[in-house]
Amino acid sequence: MNAPFRGVHALHAFEGFEIEGDTIVARCDCGAVLDTAPAVFRPCPECAGEACTRCGGTGVVVDHARLEWRSTPS
C-alpha cells in the first residue's frame, strides 16, 4: 500500500470519495480531484443480500487497505 491521497486545498473541506467505473476518486469540496486509485473490492462483511445497507446488495465493498493512490496534477 502506498501513502494515502494528498490533503485538501487550503481553507477547503474534504468532499468525499466517488466510484467512477473502475477508479476511486478523492475530491476536495471545490470539486477538484485530489487523487485517484484503481478500485479494489472485497466481499462485504455484513452482507444480508438485497437488503444489505453496507454494500447495497452488490456483495462487495471497497478494500481501503489495498488502494494505491496516484497523485493528480493540480
pLDDT tens column, 30-44: 888 888 999 999 999
Largest CA distance in the chain: 42
pLDDT tens column, 14-71: 888 899 999 999 888 888 888 899 999 999 998 866 788 888 888 899 998 999 998 7
The residue ranges of every structural domain in the chain are: 14-67
Within 10 angstroms of residue 15's Cβ, the number of other Cβ atoms is 16
Under 8 Å between Cβ of 47 and 54 = yes
Within 10 angstroms of residue 8's Cβ, the number of other Cβ atoms is 17
